[in-house]
Structures are given as structure tokens and as C-alpha cells.
Chains A and B, each alone.
Chain A
Amino acid sequence: MLGLEQSEGPFLQHGHAHVPAPQRVPSALQRDSSVRPSVPEGIPSERPSRDPHSASVRPSVCAFSLSLCPQCVPQRVPSVCPSVLSVSLSVPPQCVSPQFLSARPLSAPTTTWRGWGGLEAGRRPRPPHAQLWSLSPVLTRAHTHTHAAAMLEELNELLDATPQRPDTGKFTLLRDSRTDGSFLVHHFLSFYLRAGCKVCFLALVQSFSHYNIVAQKLGVSLTAAKERGQLVFLEGLKSCLDLVFGEEEPSGQPSPLQFISGSVSNLKDLFDFVRTSLAPTDSDSWKGRVLLVDDLSVLLSLGAAPVDVLDFIHYCRMVVCSQLKGNIVVLVHGSEDSEDEENKLVVTSLCHHSNLILWVQGLATGFCKDVHGEIKIIKRLSLESTEQDVIQIYQYKIQDKNVTFFARGLSAAVL
């Protein structure tokens, strides 16, 4: 498993298009029960057709991926084929954490050449960037794809977090500029629900059904969580409608979004909502308390002053992080060149005292189909001391049910 093996990377990269005939397969490979026909012999200087899905290429992909992770890859072949085509070395999945990838280059990969006709002919000199290939996190993708798609596993690895032991007392800021960072909200929602925390979710942007459908894709049911009292969901759009068009509340209870009506200027009602919903009771046995906000910038659009928003967050921090030893996760929009001064004030101030910042940015060079953006992970080791922050930068690609992270420039489409 640990043995790294390499295909003919260079000939996949250069040369003219050629569609090899699938029947010309080395017999040694055919006998291997798990490995399907592979790149045929005799065409070392030519590459298969560009189309990863054409029948002649797909088998070779199988050969690659089977060698990665025998127990899980076979059924996933179509989803990895374009990337694996260009990745040549395999590393066991457990070694391919992205930290590993970015931290050190693989110094001396032990390459075992599988018995392909073209390769047996002689060891051709490896291209200078072959080592890079060996570290492609695409392999990780192949792995996570196959196992249960719960949260974004890769992100957990990057953050050193597991649902088994969630952090306590942390303030996490999610910030996006020039792109959409809501996938992080979905991640943290499913993460904390899975971790058995009691979650208060201020969902101001989308409807409940949206969050529920995405959460189901990530393996969590919000309706079930609501029923068992684990999730307290404030649907901003709905309660805003009730506030604007609804008649007087029969109970006399003010709406959490009372500030919209202008009768009060501060966000005290919203804070009360958070406090009561996260208040510990005798019977519950939740592992922790979490406040999740998507997104804070909406409050500004609805007429709250920046100072009120900061006050609200401060109060929440006191209650959730300090008293209840829980966590807060907050999403804000805000790029550096934004002209929204109020929003900027909120963002800068929150950045200043968060324990962890996940900053998602669109690519500076514009839109790309295969790399959706860049994520900067800023870990404050301590808010008090002067220790340097740990900054990691990755690029990511969002897929239907998963997000893959890779070191910069190591997208499967680029390699």
C-alpha cells in the first residue's frame, strides 16, 4: 500500500492525441482480478485522448485508483477519473492529509513500476516535478468520496477538529470576499450537530428548506435535530414576514428581529432569543453549546447599527463562550476593497478577536471552473500573548456533496 507507483506522467502531458486500442493489454494486468485493462503497451510517447470518459481511457484510470485504496475506490471511478489521469503516484489515504502535502515534499519516493509494457521498457527519467505529483491531494478526494460524506472531512483535518471532541470557548469567524462562503456554514452546522452540541442557528439568508436540503447532503437532518431539541432555528425570512405583516403577537413576546420595526434600536431581543434557546436545563445532555450566524451582514442591511451588532456579538460571547463554554461561528461578507464602511468596521473588529478565521476569497485572477477559491486559515494560538498566528492557505473546489482542499497550484485540473 505504501509502495508508491508511478505511471508515465510525461506522456500524459505531452505528445499528440492518440486513442489506444483497449484490447492490447498486457496479460499480466488482465490476470489481476481487481485491476482492469490499462494503458496498452507500445505507445509510450503518445497519450490517450483528452477525454477522460472515453472508453479507452477509463480502464487505465481504474488501475490507478484501485491501487490507491482497494476497499473503497472501485465504485467511485467515474468521479475521480479526470484527476487521476494526471496523478501518477499513490499514497495511502491516511498519509495524505493536506498538512502533510503542503508541509514537506516527499523526498525520496520509492517508486515501484507496475508491469506495463511501455514502462518496463526502461525507466525513463522522471520529470522534475514528479515529486509534486506524488503529493496531489486528489488522492484524498478519492478517499473521502467513498466513505460516509458527513461534514467536510478534509476541512476537519485542516482544522484538527473531530466531532468526537469539539473545541470549547472558541469564536470562529467565517469571512468571504468576492465569492460565497456559505459552504462553511453548512459544514459547521453539520459538524456541531454531529458532535452532539446544542445549536442555535440564526439563519438570516435562506429558508429552512434550503439549509435542510444541504444538510441532508452532508448527512444530517435538521428536522430531526429540531424535533429532538438539539437545534433551535431562527428563520430570518419567515420571522421578518411575521413581524411586518403579522398581527400583534398573542403572547406579547417580542420577535427576535424586533429591531427591524424601529421601535427598539438594539439587538437585545435577538440576544435574549439566543440566551434562552441555549440556556442549560437539568435534563439535557448536550456536549456543548453553539451559536451559528448566517450572516451577520444581513443585520446591517436590516437597519442595525454596527455598534449594536458588535455589542450583540460581545454579549453572545460572554454567555456562550465564557459562561457556557460553547462556541460561536459567525459568517460575514466583506472584501478589502468594499465601500461598505459599516460592514468593514464590523468585520475588522471581529477579525481582531476571533480565535480562528476562515477567510474564503475568490481567485484574484478571476473565475475558474476547477478551483473555486482560496481559503486562508488563520489560527490564533492565543488572544493574549504575542505569539504569531498560524496561517495556512489552500485552494478549494466545491462539489455536490463535498469540498476538496488542496495546496495552491495543486488542483487536479492543473496537474
Chain B
Amino acid sequence: MMAAGGGAARGGGAATTSTSFRRSGGSRLAAVPGTRPALRHGQLLLSCGVPSLDCVLGWWSGTRRRRPCGIPRPGRPCPQPPGRAVRGAGRGERGAGPSCQAAGAGRELWFGIEVLIRRESAVPRAGAQASSASFNWELISGGGLAVGTLLLIEEDKYGVYSSLLFKYFLAEGVVCGHDLFVASAQDPPANIIKELPAPLLDDNFKTERVEATAAKSEDCQDSMQIAWRYQNAPKVETSPTTSMKFGHYYDVSKKMSPELLQSIKWHSFFLPDELPLEPKLKMCNMNCGYARLLRSIQSVIYQEGFDGSHPQKKQKNILRIGIQSLGSLLWDDDICSTNTPEDIHSLTKFLYVLRGLLRKSLSACIITMPSHLIENKAIMERVTNLSDMVVGLESFIGSERETNPLYKDYHGLLHVHQIPRLNSLICDVSDTKDLAFRLKRKQFTVERLHLPPDLSDTVSRSSKQDLAESAKLLSSGCGAVAIGKKHLDF
């Protein structure tokens, strides 16, 4: 088993059975399902439901010098951690996708990891456990949302894609068995939960489940083999167990099955239901809706023990908090309607207290915010500073870019406004800043923006200039926005 794992790391020629095995070693180390530790800042990471967006959110960038293996390549399926994705062994180097590239060419990667892997694979461990090489690969490839942080999504104009991301985030929580907290002022949370997309139950997913059961019974190899052969048998599907895998794919055309939904615990906050109960709840001069929401989140965190106050309590779990369209008129906030709102500090105070709550508990939060409606840009600047991650969606719906041939492959652009600084001097910066998203028939993916091939020699593209302009706009990283056309830094 060890040898097979090491061979995979070097040559990419491991058999399918053994690669699917290797993951159990890695997942054993993550105590909470659906999370994995980040190597550099030591925080637990969880997936936001879109694996390609995970990569954008937080790169394990350390001393890595090469292009990371997980960055989505145009026209290719989303990246998967290499250890698990070697399905067709011995494929071509580039055609095999990022995973094989990483697994297949150890020396392509940076020095330290190579040494690490060699050392790890040289020390055999007892039992049929996986080589930790795969564990390392899992860690270095891809990022995620760190537990205790806040992801802010700036909604696109019609809120189509932001609500999709919102649902992905929650759906990932369902599949991983996390607790959910859904807050909304617009759609009843029960409806949001009902409309979560169904996970794509591909082979990986199934073997994953089998593996989870196999790991429990402790006789990995044999039961694994057998179960793997019978993975299509319906009995595997009947009991939805929580998946230990990190990051899943979803089919937006289907809704999640009710059985899966029943398996998790969720809390809801629906502003219209809350308001009439107690007429006065003034907390720190904050808007009543915000104050109530904070109180509600706080009580869930404390009562359910997400703050670690009951260490004796069974299995630790993660609380995923989703807040829809925060700051909109429905939250009784006037920042969207006027340039000089009455209470300019409510939203920022709310975010600050929420950040404090998140930092002290095993939870992660996603907030969508209609930033294009907020007149007073100063508020948005402050909100950005108070969030850990800010991602803006700019959809092409209704914009002139929809018909631009340069953007024909995409449905919108993704701007990263803020990336988290967590436990380290550097912040995770992915190599590329030009990102676009697209909604394929079933999947939402984030990709590097690239030009379509210019096939003609003679006819110059009229909109080249346009793309150059927009590319300039895009290349804003870590808040650094390109200004000035003729500027030369070095």
C-alpha cells in the first residue's frame, strides 16, 4: 500500500483502487467532517461548495514557486486534490488535468514538498493506512474558507449568481453534515433549504461513502474491494451518511433529496417572523433587525456548543451561517435608499460583532450584499475592511458584455476585493487575478479569464482594446487596483 502511494506521487501510474484508498489517511486527520487543516496558518478550512472558488479564496501559498496544481484551467474540469483524482492512470501529462500533473511530476513541484514526500513515503506505517503523501497533496492543493471567517459576496445586478453561491455554500454544509443557520429577510429559510442543489453523486462520491463505512469497520482493504465492486447497489444510497470528502460538485438542475436534508440540523432566522414578537430590542444603537439576528446567532452558538464551551460534548461540528441580502431595504436599513443614511454605523457594527462571534466559535459565515445598491461608497469600504474575504460578482446579464465575443464563454466576472490575513504575515494570494465564472448546464465554475483563440491573421479584432481595458480593471489583487494607463512600476 505504501509503495503504491509513493509510486503514485512519483509516477502517476497508480491503480485506481489504491488511489481511492489513500484518501482515508488524510481524512482521518481532520477531526470534523468536511474540513481540512490549512498547512500554513493552521486554521481548519471548509469548502464553500464551489471547489474552483475555494481555490480563489485561500491559497496555501507558502514558499510555493510554481503555478499551483489546483488552479482551474480553462476548458478543463474543476481541480480536484490530486491524490483522489487519478482515475485514468498513465494519461498524457497535460491532458490529464491538474491533478495528474501534480501527482505525476513530483519534481515539478517545489523542493520542500518533494523532500517531505520522499521522507514520508520512506517510513512505512502500521496497517493498511494510506501514505501521507496523499495527505500532503490534499493540503497543498486548493484552499477554502477558514473556520471563523466571514465571506462576503457582492451580489450581481439581479442576484442570480450570488444566490446560487449562497445555496452552494449551504448545500456543501448539508453534504458534510454541518449545522446550518439561514437568515433572510426575503425568502423564508425553509424555501431556501428546499431549493438547495443536489450533490453530484459521481464515482468518487460513492467510493467516498463506501470508504467512510469501510474506515469504521477497520478492515480497509478487503471490505473496500468488495464494496467498491458493489458500489452501484442501492443499499449504499439508502442511508445518507455524511461525507468526509472536501468539496463536492452540485447539479443545479436538481434539488437536493429530502432525506439528505433531514439528516442535518438547521436553524433559521426570518426577519418578518421575528419582528412583531418583541417590539423593543435595542442593542448598541443597532438596527433592530441586526440586533435580533446577532442575538439569534449568539444563542445558537452558545446553546449548541459551537463555542467549545462543552468540551465533553460528543463530536465537534461546524455551524455554517448564511445571511441573504444583508443591508437591503428589507432589513430595514436605509443605506440602499439614500446617500446619507440615518444610521450609518449599524451595518458595520453588526459585522464587527459578528466577526467577534465567528472568531470565537467553530463557524463560518457567508453574506450576500447588494453592494451596487449602496449609494454611500464609504460604507462599502468599511464593510470590505471588516470582512475577511470579499468577492464581487459582475454578471453579464443586461450588460453590453453579454454580447461581446470575447466573453462568450463566460457568464460573468469575479473580482476578489479582499483576501484573508490569518495567522501569518502574508495573505493567501492566488497567482491569477483575472477570473470569470460560468454556469454550465449543471455546474457553476470559476475559471481564469482567457482570450478565445484569435484564428485570423489579417482581421484584427475590434474589441481587443476593450478586453485589454477590462483585463486591466480585473487585475486588482488584495485591494490593489491598477490605476493609470501609463504607469510603470518597474
Using CB atoms, name the residue of chain B closest to A370.
B490
Q: Per a CB cutoff under 8 Å, which of A82, A399, A408 touches B489?
A: A408
Number of interface residues, chain B, beta carbon within 8 A: 58
Interface 9-residue window, one of B6-14, B24-32, B317-325, B420-428: B420-428
- Given contacts A302-B345, A364-B483, A408-B489, whether A186 and B357 have CB atoms under 8 Å apart is no
Stretch at the interface among B73-81, B162-170, B395-403, B473-481: B473-481
Do the beta carbons of A241 and B489 come within 8 Å of each other?
no
Contact B477 A366 (CB under 8 A): yes
B94 in the interface, Cβ–Cβ < 8 Å?
no
Q: Which of B42, B285, B472 contacts A213 (CB 8 A)?
A: B42
Which residues of chain A are within 8 angstroms of B112 by Cβ–Cβ distance?
Answer: 78
Q: Which residues of A contact B298 (CB under 8 A)?
A: 245
Nearest residue, chain A, Cβ from B114: A53
> Could you say which of B215-223, B247-255, B261-269, B379-387 contacts chain A?
B379-387
Supposing A244-B284, A373-B480 touch, asked if A238 and B63 sit within 8 A by C-beta, the answer is no
The answer to whether A237 and B352 have CB atoms under 8 Å apart is: yes
C-alpha gap A78/B64 in the complex (Å): 12
Pick the residue among A53, A183, A368 that contacts B65 (CB under 8 A): A53
Of A261, A333, A369, A409, the residue contacting B385 (CB under 8 A) is: A333
- For A369-381 the 0/1 string (1 means CB < 8 A from B) is 1011110000000
For A210, give its contact among B360, B386, B423 (CB under 8 Å): B423
> In the assembled complex, which residues on chain A have CB atoms less than 8 Å from the CB atom of B107?
54
B356 touches A240 (CB 8 A): yes
A302 contacts B352, C-beta separation under 8 Å: yes
Given known A-B contacts A214-B424, A339-B377, A409-B490, A367 and B429 have beta carbons under 8 A apart: yes
Q: 8 Å CB contacts to A: which residues of B360-383?
A: 360, 376-378, 381-382
Say yes or no: is A79 at the interface (Cβ < 8 Å to chain B).
yes
Tell me the chain A residues, 171-211 only, with Cβ under 8 Å from chain B.
178-180, 182-183, 186, 206-207, 209-210
A400 within 8 A of B: yes
User: Given A210-B423, A302-B349, A340-B378, does the pair A244, B65 have CB atoms closer than 8 Å?
Assistant: no
A261 & B285 in contact (Cβ 8 Å cutoff): yes
Pick from B382, B484, B489: contact of A300, CB below 8 A: B382
Size category, A interface:
35 or more
Cβ contact within 8 Å between B480 and A79: no
> Contacts A180-B427, A260-B284 known; A365 to B487 CB distance under 8 Å?
yes
Q: Which residues of A contact B356 (CB under 8 A)?
A: 237-238, 240-241
CB closest residue in chain A, given B298: A245
Q: Which residues of A contact B (CB under 8 A)?
A: 52-54, 78-79, 82, 178-180, 182-183, 186, 206-207, 209-210, 213-214, 217, 236-238, 240-241, 243-245, 260-262, 297-298, 300-303, 333, 337-343, 362-369, 371-374, 395, 398-403, 408-411, 414
B-to-A contact residues, CB < 8 Å:
40-42, 62-63, 65, 107, 110-112, 283-285, 294-295, 298, 345, 348-349, 352-353, 355-357, 359-360, 376-378, 381-382, 385-386, 421-427, 429, 431, 433, 472, 475-484, 487-490
In the A-B complex, the 6 residue pairs with the smallest Cβ-Cβ separation, listed nearest first, are A367-B477, A362-B480, A366-B482, A237-B356, A340-B378, A262-B285
5 examples of A-B residue contacts, CB within 8 angstroms:
A179-B479, A298-B385, A333-B385, A366-B476, A373-B480
